[in-house]
Amino acid sequence: MSSAATPPKLPGSVLYTCNLNAVRSPMAEALTRNLYGKRFFVESAGLEPADRDPFVVEVMREIGIDMSGDKPLAVDAVDIGAFDLVICMTPESCTHVTELARAQAVEIEFWPTLDPFAAGEMGSREQRLVAYRRLRDDLLSMITHRFGPCDAAA
């Protein structure tokens, strides 16, 4: 008899949301895509999309993920009902997504996440990078916990 736990069932599609689609949700999207490849569709969007934060691009590049060409996307430009799972990273995006998804069969999860800009706003460049790395590593842990083990080249 095997003692290994049954791996979680992967959704067909996942949308990550946050306020700006500049830090948390695009980082989660890039990590998920890197980890799970084409096993499921993944996208990210924000309530008020802004350009990618340069610290995000830098800390993701440290682990071999290039986000320099990514473009922000608005939650309101996305068909929420086209996703099996929406993972909200801010209370504001969760409230908005819940309203949009009222009559749709979509699972919504809230993952409270650190805002590295607020955490390191007054610090040095290195202190800010530490906050962004902590977010990256926390997201990596949350993603692998939610979706199970994976092969990076999936």
Q: Which tens digits make up the pLDDT trace of 84-107?
A: 999 999 999 999 999 999 988 899
pLDDT of residue 3: 45
Q: What CATH number has the domain spanning 13-147?
A: 3.40.50.2300
Name the DSSP letter for residue 88. E
* Span 131-149, pLDDT tens digits: 999 999 999 999 999 999 8
Work out the pLDDT band at 16, boundaries 50, 70, 90: very high
Q: Is the dihedral of CA 14, 33, 20, 121 positive or negative?
A: positive
Give residue limits of the domains in the chain. Answer: 13-147
Work out the pLDDT band at 6, boundaries 50, 70, 90: low
Give the integer Cα–Cα distance in Å for 99 and 152.
35
Is the confidence at residue 68, as pLDDT, over 80? yes
- The structure tokens 């749709």 sit at 104
Is the confidence at residue 5, as pLDDT, over 70? no
DSSP line for 111-124: -----HHHHHTTS-
Give the integer Cα–Cα distance in Å for 131 and 20.
18
Work out the pLDDT band at 115, boundaries 50, 70, 90: confident
